[in-house]
């Protein structure tokens, strides 16, 4: 039996905190992805996976117990899976037919992660990728070639894990890499570069009043809005918490000021709803603008934008400042 999007209430994600594959993962950053997964319930004796079938799903065991057989259930199980463990990862990665039979040993509840969601989790959390490949390495440690390949993929995903799981924007890891390159390009080509740092006004008070779930929705919707409110050539990232950055290549101070005001007004007019359809209060943002100087490094440019943001807050919020 399926309960589609049964985790739509983000608070239910706490159930996944003990999963081996999520050890060290900041659930706050991936709960938006996990909340879109369905829950599958199995009765005792029901088959979850059959040998030879093609499937693009992995399962995280929330409750119950699963037996894993190499061929059929007339033999002894090769593994017993308990809450916190996962199954189905390898076939999802290599797209080859399943090689084992997995049966519910008792009534069980699983979180079903489809292919798109799986790769989104890999991209949004390098800790998830590291855990995943560690699990696979343990299962395949008798095959040295497989372990070498798993380690290679682990390092590759660790390098390219650049997506923020909650908002879908680029994350701080990506920002550090791209901003360094943009600064070098600006100095080399003698073109202006402007950085905007912004955050949600009174966000802590909003969270305290309406709850962290509502706060997550605000950040999610703001992330979507920023993609549309800035130009396609601008580079947007979630800096951390309720702070976001926008890199504006080849942009003068006047153009950056106009962009900041355009974005500020657009955000103040956003309509945001809770998951039950209840309208949430409109939000405002403060923005700090810093144009790169020839002597600037990445750290000094970020610091200048952060200080400009502080001045905007001191000026009363819902405004921008250089």
Q: What is the pLDDT of residue 5?
A: 42
How far does CA 108 lie from the centroid of its chain? 27
How far apart, in whole angstroms, are the C-alpha atoms of residue 268 and residue 266?
5
Of the residues 242, 243, 255, 299, only one is catalytic, namely 242
Q: Are 177 and 190 spatial neighbours (Cβ–Cβ below 8 Å)? A: no
Q: What is the pLDDT of residue 140?
A: 63
What domains are there in the chain, each with its CATH number? 2-121 (2.60.120.10), 172-321 (3.30.70.270)
pLDDT, tens digit, for every residue of 74-103?
677 878 888 888 888 777 777 778 778 899
Pick the closest to residue 275 from 220, 233, 204 (CA basis).
Answer: 220
Verify whether residue 299 is a known catalytic residue: no
Q: Which of 34-38, 158-162, 174-178, 214-218 has the lowest mean pLDDT?
A: 158-162
Q: What is the pLDDT of residue 128?
A: 79
Put residue 60 in one of left, alpha, beta given phi > 0 → left and psi -120 to 50 → alpha: beta
DSSP per-residue codes, 49-96 = E-TT----EEEEEEES-EEEESS-TTS--SEEE-TT-EE-HHHHHH-P
Pairing of strands 285-291, 101-104: unpaired
pLDDT, tens digit, for every residue of 119-148?
877 777 778 778 887 777 776 654 455 456
Mean pLDDT over 208-227 rounds to 91
Pick 215 or 94 by higher pLDDT.
215
Neighbouring residues of 261: CB distance < 8 A, sequence distance ≥ 6:
320
Q: What is the pLDDT of residue 307?
A: 95
Q: How many CB atoms lie within 10 A of CB 24?
A: 10
The token pair that represents 219 in the structure block: 């950040």
Pick the closest to residue 266 from 216, 198, 164 (CA basis).
Answer: 198
Q: Are 34 and 111 spatial neighbours (Cβ–Cβ below 8 Å)? A: yes
Q: How many CB atoms lie within 10 A of CB 277?
A: 6
């Amino acid at each position: 039996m399926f309960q589609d999007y049964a985790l739509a209430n983000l608070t239910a994600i706490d159930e996944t905190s003990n999963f081996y594959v999520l050890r060290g993962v900041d659930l706050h950053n991936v709960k938006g992805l996990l909340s879109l997964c369905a829950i599958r319930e199995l009765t005792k004796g029901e088959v979850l996976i059959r040998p030879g079938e093609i499937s693009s799903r992995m399962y995280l065991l929330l409750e119950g117990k699963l037996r894993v057989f190499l061929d059929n259930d007339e033999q002894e199980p090769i593994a017993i899976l308990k809450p916190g463990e996962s199954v189905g990862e390898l076939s999802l990665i290599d797209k080859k037919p399943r090689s084992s039979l997995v049966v519910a040993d008792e009534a069980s509840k699983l979180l079903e992660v489809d292919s798109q969601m799986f790769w989104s989790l890999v991209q949004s959390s390098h800790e998830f990728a590291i855990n995943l490949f560690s699990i696979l390495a343990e299962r395949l440690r008798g095959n040295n070639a497989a372990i070498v390949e798993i380690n290679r993929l682990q390092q590759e995903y660790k390098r390219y894990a650049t997506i923020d799981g909650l908002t879908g924007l680029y994350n701080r890891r990506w920002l550090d890499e791209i901003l360094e390159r943009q600064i070098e390009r600006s100095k080399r080509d003698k073109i202006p570069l402007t950085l905007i740092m912004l955050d949600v006004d009174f966000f802590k008070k909003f969270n305290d009043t309406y709850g962290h779930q509502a706060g997550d929705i605000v950040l999610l919707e703001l992330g979507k809005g920023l993609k549309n409110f800035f130009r396609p050539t601008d580079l947007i990232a979630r800096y951390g918490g309720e702070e976001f950055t926008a890199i504006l290549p080849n942009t003068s101070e006047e153009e950056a000021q106009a962009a900041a005001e355009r974005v500020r007004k657009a955000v103040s007019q956003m309509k945001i709803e809770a998951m039950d359809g209840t309208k949430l209060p409109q939000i405002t943002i403060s923005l700090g603008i810093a144009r790169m100087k020839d002597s600037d490094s990445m750290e000094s440019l970020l610091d200048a934008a952060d200080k400009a943001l502080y001045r905007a807050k001191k000026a009363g919020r819902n405004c921008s400042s250089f």
